[in-house]
Structure 1
């Protein structure tokens, strides 16, 4: 029904039969924004050059108390490497990782603080072809053992994550850590193949080509 004034006309759009329901509550919409809030918070805290334990504490407190997000937080350390990190995940995001994690994109953020801690984020592509966050982890040194430990915690402690393909950049460390986490057929599991990002590979090639020989 419409009125005589065009500015007051209301158009109702109904769902086509058997089409996906794109209606979301305000709480669901806010939940989709939370990973961005957490990511921004980490970047802000590390920029202050606080000691790493203080950064971890601030992120954990803000995520669990201030925002009341219900994040699950796990600290870990690798004694033989003298490295440590923090995994923080949300149950709703873990559901997406379990359901759509057959294809996962691993992304890392570098050079945001003088301690050189790195923020990693796992993304999955949902049924609407949108990339959503599956989990985060924050480590003080990027090596295969430390990254693998974070991935293993996410996979074994928090959810059943069975990935067939993981998209990474040209990092050999990430490729090794994925192989450590997903043992494949030898362990009676599905093989997990590492796919390299074409953009990162081409960028690396161009850097190597343009390097001046000494």
Structure 2
């Protein structure tokens, strides 16, 4: 009854929301699993255009029926994370998530509409399985979808499974492999050091866990596997989706949100999504029109979009702190390229580049042009 009420409400709105009900039998036990999918048509357009990299996550306790709320999020061309679509499910299982993702693919135009390349999730087995099934290559020329785990989730899982002083050295080697190794050879060296410690202790349970869950799946969770993409390097945590979930729950009290019906939570979600739309529109206006105050002193910064101006000025301030503290400089590669994580993430001048320029005047006009039009 609640499902019908919610769908009827969506069908009768002037915004012409897209909606669908899905029902499947779970592959694990044959029991029925149901869900409601909904999205604004404009957000589906954003998903189609900007869905190359997509985040998906679920949250609990948003309605009195206990249905989970899933949200798909993408980053628009102005750097704002916006919701692309939502679905509510009665049970947390991969089968219903697969069907929901297939519906979103159809709404995006069917084959070739949603050109997904990277999907980031937490370590939910249901989400991992669903992404693999929903985005199987249909033809040889299809994009292969890489499923990646949030680095922060991987770190939390490792700390949970290798907790205590007994595993401190093991955990150190694995975290170094996770966050700091720049290629597969260095990564494996660090993991081997952790495995050697476990072998000496004859801790076969932890050793087998490390081999099965981490050694064989490195492409999904380590930093080195993302160094080919600046966009992937920029996303290490779940802040976009966690911020969305917080906004959903912050806009209503804890007691009231858990009393929502399915229709009630859908209305609430769409209201909060409109606020995200307004924020995205403001970011689009600021992108090329707003100026950081330092532009008056550094007029060349005006060639950069406002978000880039903020990143560069932050690095310039860090440079001043480095020089005052006599911090050791990192040497630069040819063409004033740095090997630090900031430069890899944004391809913009970092504090080490500014420090070298401050001391040696190494930057030239072509360097500024390269960064401005990269």
Q: Same fold (TM over 0.5)?
A: yes
Structure 2 CA distance for aligned equivalents of residues 210 and 61 of structure 1: 50
Q: Cα distance, 1:162 vs. partner?
A: 1.6
The size of the alignment, in residue pairs, is 157
Q: Cα distance, 1:106 vs. partner?
A: 0.5
Aligned pairs (5 A) from 1:82-121: 82-113=32-63, 115-121=65-71
- Structure 1: stretches of 5+ with no match in the other structure: 1-52
Structure 2 CA distance for aligned equivalents of residues 81 and 100 of structure 1: 36
Quick check: 78-87 or 164-173, which moved more?
Answer: 78-87
Q: Matched residue of 1:170: which SS?
A: coil
Aligned pairs (5 A) from 1:104-183: 104-113=54-63, 115-159=65-109, 160-183=113-136
Larger helix share, 1 or 2 = 2
The corresponding residue for 2:7 is 60
The corresponding residue for 1:78 is 24
Q: Cα distance, 1:101 vs. partner?
A: 0.3
**Matched-pair contact (CA < 8 Å) for 1:168–1:195:** yes
Q: Cα distance, 1:133 vs. partner?
A: 1.3
Structure 2 CA distance for aligned equivalents of residues 140 and 109 of structure 1: 12
Q: Cα distance, 1:188 vs. partner?
A: 4.7
**Matched-pair contact (CA < 8 Å) for 1:71–1:91:** yes
Q: Matched residue of 2:160: which SS?
A: helix
Larger strand share, 1 or 2 = 1
Q: Cα distance, 1:132 vs. partner?
A: 1.1
Which structure has the greater CA radius of gyration?
Answer: 2
Runs of 4+ in structure 1 displaced over 6 angstroms? Answer: none
Given the alignment, which residue of 159, 173, 198 partners 2:151? 198
TM-score normalised by the chain length of structure 1:
0.65
**Matched-pair contact (CA < 8 Å) for 1:185–1:191:** no
- Structure 2: stretches of 5+ with no match in the other structure: 165-374
Q: Matched residue of 2:88: which SS?
A: strand
Q: Matched residue of 2:91: which SS?
A: coil
Structure 2 CA distance for aligned equivalents of residues 122 and 131 of structure 1: 10
